[in-house]
Amino acid sequence: MQVSSEQPTSTEARLQLLLFVDERPSSRQQIQQIRRYLKQLQAEYPFELQIVNVGEQPYLAEHFKLVATPALIKIYPEPRQILAGSNLIEQLSNWWLRWQQSAEAQANLVAELAETSTKPKDLENLNNSGNYGTSNVAAIRSVADSVEVIRLSDEVFRLKREQERLLEQLQFKDRIIAMVAHDLRNPLTAVSIAVETLEAQFLSTKKGGFSASPALLTQLFKQARSQAKIIDRMIASLLQVTRGSSAELQIQPHKLDLIELYQDVEAHIQDRAFTKSQSIQTDLPNDLPAVYADRERVRQVLINLLDNAMKYTPEGGTIRISCLHRTTQKVQVSVCDTGPGIPEENYDRIFEERFRLKRDEAKDGYGIGLALCQRIIRAHYGQIWVDSAPNGGSCFHFTLPVYSL
């Protein structure tokens, strides 16, 4: 323990004081003067003095709600009193006689009660009331024990919070694993059908039978490839969850053409957009500079934002993706939809891991996509945010650094 006593505690001490000190050079002289003055007083009237270094025991200073040091606290007898400031010695000299008289009066009252009480329980009740008695004295005499109780209470509270956080995380991971296991069935089934069909066509052609048209073969390969990418993204999301948000995000930035990357992503989303009769509009300037970014990570961000846009945009709605050379150092990418939009008070919260709007709790999703997007963009020293689209819906924007030699 870092609580020290100025001198051995007298068993007859009826007054208990705590002196809070710090290590600031500017207060060193004042602390020395206070300690010398207290020694003079202690020579005339025995009292218990405990010295507490706030740098070593900050939680104890917080417990007593101190706002400045050095500070002297009379903790027994009640009521508690705190002296602080540059004139602390002057304050103490003004209060000293009253403190001494209060301690004597309290000691006499406890002695009288002990002598006259016919029921030990009566004295015990007085002690426990917090106004009189030896229980207060005993508790205060061992300030070190009090400090340890406070420290242990803080530690128990911290451990409980940590336990709650870990349990919540485990429950969340269990839900994610169950959802991913369920959602994997559809793309796996699609891949299996495509592969089995290709295998049947291959065996039929080998035996001289009917051969599928090149267009059908191309479509089957495209279907298998597309569904395999969906599975890959789902596995990547699952791995991200198991690592936790504190895991370091690794990126490998290179010169990257955003327009070429979008064209690759567009091939992935066209079928979904066609199914919902959604229109995808683009505004991608030909003179857009290359960015310095990790291709696969930025691809994750684009696909995630476009998947969300298609999910929330109704049938026949419009999705717009645009790029803007904002400054000489940054390129801005925007993905806007015509969905229900996001309440302004949740603009920041939607990027928190596991946060979902109440209206979306019944929809598919894991509540980690936007949090992952934010981590990826921040790893590129960019920004990501959301605001309202001009014609209703939401606009997600993110920035990436311009590639320079």
Residue 11 has pLDDT above 60, yes or no: no
Highest mean pLDDT among 110-124, 177-191, 242-256: 242-256
Say which DSSP state 344 is in: G
pLDDT of residue 402: 94
Can you give the pTM of this predicted structure? 0.48
Higher pLDDT, 189 or 314: 314
pLDDT of residue 179: 57
Distance of CA 272 to the CA centre of its chain: 35
Q: Grade residue 33 by pLDDT with cuts at 50, 70 and 90.
A: very high
Neighbours of 318 (CB within 10 A): 16
Residue 59 to residue 54: CA distance in whole angstroms:
8
Residue 175 has pLDDT above 70, yes or no: no
**Planar angle of CA 240, 186, 303, nearest 5 degrees:** 45
Query: Quick one: which of 271, 327, 310 has its CA closest to 396?
Result: 310
pLDDT of residue 141: 46
Q: Grade residue 132 by pLDDT with cuts at 50, 70 and 90.
A: very low
For the CA atoms of 158, 160, 161, 167, what is the dihedral angle to 10 degrees?
140
- The amino acid present at 238, given as its one-letter code, is L
Q: 167 exposed, middle or buried (CB, 10 Å; 0-12, 13-18, 19+)?
A: exposed
Task: Return the bridge partners of 76, or none.
Answer: 16
pLDDT of residue 129: 47
pLDDT of residue 395: 92
Q: State whether residue 292 is helix, strand or coil.
A: strand
Residue 4 has pLDDT above 90, yes or no: no
For residue 55, give every residue at least 6 positions away whose Cβ sits within 8 Å of its Cβ, in sequence order, or none: 22, 23
Q: State whether residue 322 is helix, strand or coil.
A: strand
pLDDT of residue 357: 63
Residue 133 has pLDDT above 50, yes or no: no
Q: Name the average pLDDT for the chain.
A: 78
- The amino acid present at 326, given as its one-letter code, is R
* pLDDT mean over 69-91: 89
pLDDT of residue 222: 76
* pLDDT mean over 338-364: 72
pLDDT of residue 144: 55
Highest mean pLDDT among 21-30, 76-85, 117-126, 254-263: 254-263
Domains of the chain: 3-151 (3.40.30.10), 153-243 (1.10.287.130), 254-401 (3.30.565.10)
Residue 131 has pLDDT above 50, yes or no: no
* pLDDT mean over 160-177: 76
Higher pLDDT, 41 or 404: 41
For residues 30 and 88, is the Cβ–Cβ distance under 8 A? yes
